[in-house]
Amino acid sequence: MKIGFIGLGNMGAPMAANLAKSHEVTGFDTVAAPEGIALAQSAADAARDADVVITMLPNGDILRQVAAEIHPAMKSGAIHLDCSTVDVESARAVAAQAQGNGLSAIDAPVSGGIGGATNGTLTFMAGGPADAFATVQPLFDIMGQKAVHCGPAGNGQAAKICNNMILGVTMIATCEAFVLADKLGLDRQAMFDVVSTSSGYSWSMNAYCPAPGIGPQSPADNDYQPGFASELMLKDLRLSQMAAEAADADTPMGQAATALYQQFVEEEDGKGRDFSAMLPRFESRHRGS
């Protein structure tokens, strides 16, 4: 397969490098120029002859700009596979535009972070036509370990933001519960041993425990170096609230989590720290402070 790859940042560069081991990949980025990937002069040039054009970009506005540039250049029947995390509305607009240009579009945001991109172990959640999903499945197999087809255009983004809204909320709940346990004199290891095998268990507690030295290895054991940075969690929470607003869904816990991560990132020391650093944040506070 001939692949165009646009957006060669922290995630895109290793994903493109994995594909380049077995496919012809032409990349483009306005800034980054990673080694080992053939580079084009423009996004349209990278997209022109490709069977599949992958985009891995910062946000929905940039995705829309790039889509407007590449869709007219792409060959008929080609597939635009967007792996960025963007708002549902932009994903659906780009898919409609692709269809108007005789193309197919799949939105397939990822979970797994830079480690997953490097090791080819990402999880993809995809929206778009089933035949296009089947065509790009071999690419998912190279870049990741799992791809779930979630339905029509935009549903990949919908799945991603619902998942990450749960993650943000459960991480905050886990961190505040650890601080309450501390203040009640409950040993953290005992707290973990009970909760991780009781009805309070979650990925945040069991797999990514925010308390240093407790549970499996996690960013808490590395001074909260990300991992998954708090500002990326804030981005996804904001997308969840944009979607909730547009769909008239009542999401009070998602709203509260968004406000807390916003405060943490913009007014406190959360930027650049893992999203589990909410635990030391709560430790340094008092009720109502």
| Residue 35 found at the interface with ligand NAD (CB under 6 A) | no
Does 40 participate in binding ligand NAD (rule CB under 6 A)? Answer: no
Please state, in angstroms and rounded to a whole number, the distance separating the CA atoms of residues 251 and 245: 9
Whether 140 and 147 have beta carbons less than 8 Å apart is answered as yes
Distance CA 246, CA 166 (A): 19
Residue 265 C-beta: closest distance to ligand NAD, Å: 14
Examine residue 217 and tell whether it contacts ligand NAD (CB under 6 A): no
> Is position 160 annotated as part of the catalytic site?
yes
Q: Dmax of the chain from CA atoms?
A: 66
Binder of ligand NAD out of 43, 47, 169, 260 (CB under 6 A): 43
| 84 contributes a contact to ligand NAD by CB under 6 A | yes
85 binds ligand NAD, rule: CB under 6 A: yes
CB under 8 Å, gap of 24 or more: what pairs does 213-218 form? Answer: 213/188, 214/188, 214/189, 218/276
Does the protein bind ligand NAD through residue 277 (CB under 6 A)?
Answer: no
CA distance 77 to 100: 11
Element (DSSP H or E) covering residue 245: helix 230-247
Q: Which stretch binds ligand NAD (CB under 6 A): 54-62, 144-152, 199-207, 248-256?
A: 54-62
Please select the residue that binds ligand NAD; options are 3, 11, 169, 244, rule is CB under 6 A: 11
Can you give the binding site for ligand NAD, defined by CB under 6 A? 6-12, 28-32, 43, 56-58, 62, 65-66, 84-85, 110, 113-114, 232, 235
Task: Show which residues are catalytic.
Answer: 160
